[in-house]
Structure 1
Amino acid sequence: MEDLPPLRAVVERHGLFAKKALGQNFLFDLNLTGKIARVAGPLDGVTVIEVGPGPGGLTRALLSQGAEVIAIERDERCLAILDEISAHYPGRLTVIPGDAMATDFAALAGSRTRVRIIANLPYNIGTELLIRWLTVEPWPPFYESMALMFQREVAARIVARPGDSAFGRLAVMAGWRTEARIAFDVPAQAFTPPPKVTSSVVHLVPRPSPLPVNLRMLERVTQAAFGQRRKMLRQSLKVLGGEALLQRAEIDPTRRAETLEIEEFVRLANAVA
């Protein structure tokens, strides 16, 4: 990687600037990009799917640590820069121009057996992409783990536990199917341009055998419960059966959503089904 020109100089040469509409914030700090790449462990023999590589700061770090990288980039301005990186690592970087929201990631992984998702996700699509990866079928999924960067507030919602103020639908979905933790924070000053918030890298490892539940029902239950989180469950879940439903699931109807364990949400969803 040391033989490549400095990333900041490459960006200036191409006249590239971050577009707010694309949720772009560029990382030039090699220490940070290397740290993100290492969160999921050694990368030799691993295929990494990266979303929104931009000018390729993290891409360089992933390749330098031995990964094969498949990068999905919507911004056509970045493609020439990524081509330069690809030429430096022949046969190890595949760049797919297009929208990550329209990408079939399981098909992208194909028959590869060691796939990880590592990305500094664009802020405007990060949560929706995470939900898609958490709800993919069949399970266990096509990936070994995910190391993803979010706004600190979103990261807190992903790893929250019952009783936490940030505990909600996202925490239930993430906790049901994965073991999630915040690996480290990234200050706003590390980015160009600096966002108004601190960011965090979250590491998620799929559970091999999550509790069996109808996914659609789990989504309905969490939506209803947290949609009126200040109310008792007998009221917030009234549309799904109220007290009768809670009795079937053996849950006190006077409790509130943020106090329930994930397995209790699973019981509720199974009781609805």
Structure 2
Amino acid sequence: MFKHKKKLGQNFLINKDIIKKIADIGSINKNSNIIEIGPGSGSLTEELLKRNPKEIFAIEFDKDLINHLDKIKNNYNNFNYEISNALTFDEKNVFKKNSIIFGNLPYYISLKLLIKWIYSDPWPPFYDRMILMFQKEVAERIIATPNQKKYGRISILTNARLDVKFHFNISKTEFNPEPKVESSVLSFTPKKNASFQLKDLSVLSDLTKIIFNTKRKMISKTLKKLLNEQELKIVDFDNIKNLRPENLDFSFYYKLVDLIKCRS
């Protein structure tokens, strides 16, 4: 039995059928290089290893899990791990390309990790796919589309570089200890021809922060502060001035970035 640490956001998935479903999403074969974030009790790790990937490299923060991870390492010559902070760890030092990321992400750092991978450089990134578990409410924000209540900054930033797919929700009763919220599993695929460079993402992040700071208000005042008269015409200001930020399509925000870039 593993003693969870609340401060690390540890909730171990215990339903074996769900663990298999998560592994299935990865379509693992003998050439697969896998990075697992937070292997914890190793239940998903061992399910992935049963599928005979080329290699699995796990990143775990909790030093108390070393003995358990060493046991897995002794049983599988294609498994290795490092005790490290996933937020600062450079995965490119493990696999330069074509890797699959799996992660039951601690809720308190899940968005920070996603943003880290969105900002990967160079692009296309070192990963081909990511299969990640989030708090359900966070997942809803990630996959939200225009005119939905949860649509916002993280939806727009994600869509700029990644295609995202919802797979299924997981009841809180499937974890030990039981968390207070439901979870959702999403998968992500990099957009190979994504035009957003790092500096573009920074501009997009800043713009959406300003605009969604007044999410429930009409966008007219904010746009007048951000754009000059010519730029307002380009974005068809008269037809959108009475809309709210959540009503505007992804492409609108990307057009704003292009306008800002053209100034320099």
Match of residue 36, structure 2, among 50, 73, 80: 50
1:85 is aligned to: 72
Query: How many pairs were matched up?
Result: 256
The TM-score with structure 2 as length reference comes to: 0.91
Match of residue 175, structure 2, among 191, 211, 222: 191
The Cα of 1:250 is off from its aligned counterpart by 3.2
Match of residue 250, structure 1, among 219, 231, 236: 236
CA contact (8 A) 1:117 1:143 kept: yes
Whether 1:156 and 2:144 are equivalent positions in the alignment is no
Q: Any idea what SS the aligned residue of 1:102 has?
A: coil
Distance in 2, Cα, partners of 1:60 & 1:260: 44
Whichever residue aligns with residue 52 of structure 1, its letter is G
CA contact (8 A) 1:150 1:201 kept: yes
1:182 is aligned to: 166
The Cα of 1:242 is off from its aligned counterpart by 6.9
* Residues 1:239 and 1:136: Cα distance change in structure 2 (over 3 Å): farther
Whether 1:97 and 2:51 are equivalent positions in the alignment is no
The Cα of 1:244 is off from its aligned counterpart by 5.6
Distance in 1, Cα, partners of 2:6 & 2:228: 44
Q: Any idea what SS the aligned residue of 1:144 has?
A: strand
The Cα of 1:62 is off from its aligned counterpart by 1.1
Distance in 2, Cα, partners of 1:107 & 1:249: 42
Distance in 2, Cα, partners of 1:198 & 1:157: 14
Percent of pairs with identical residues: 35
Distance in 1, Cα, partners of 2:14 & 2:166: 22
Which whole-Å deviations, capped at 9, do the CAs of 1:154-205 have from their partners, x for residues lacking one? Answer: 1111111101111001111111211111111111011000111110000111
1:70 is aligned to: 57
Gaps of 5+ in 2: none
1:264 is aligned to: 252
The Cα of 1:42 is off from its aligned counterpart by 2.7
Q: Tell me whether 18-27 or 253-262 shows the greater mean CA deviation.
A: 253-262
Match of residue 23, structure 2, among 28, 37, 49: 37
Whichever residue aligns with residue 140 of structure 1, its letter is P
Q: Any idea what SS the aligned residue of 2:127 has?
A: coil
The TM-score with structure 1 as length reference comes to: 0.89
The Cα of 1:30 is off from its aligned counterpart by 2.0
CA contact (8 A) 1:224 1:237 kept: no
Distance in 1, Cα, partners of 2:230 & 2:133: 41
* Residues 1:237 and 1:224: Cα distance change in structure 2 (over 3 Å): farther
Whether 1:109 and 2:95 are equivalent positions in the alignment is yes
Whichever residue aligns with residue 86 of structure 1, its letter is K
Match of residue 9, structure 2, among 23, 28, 34: 23
Gaps of 5+ in 1: 1-11
Distance in 2, Cα, partners of 1:253 & 1:43: 51
1:3 is aligned to: none
The Cα of 1:115 is off from its aligned counterpart by 0.3
Whichever residue aligns with residue 115 of structure 2, its letter is I
The Cα of 1:43 is off from its aligned counterpart by 3.4
Distance in 2, Cα, partners of 1:271 & 1:177: 19
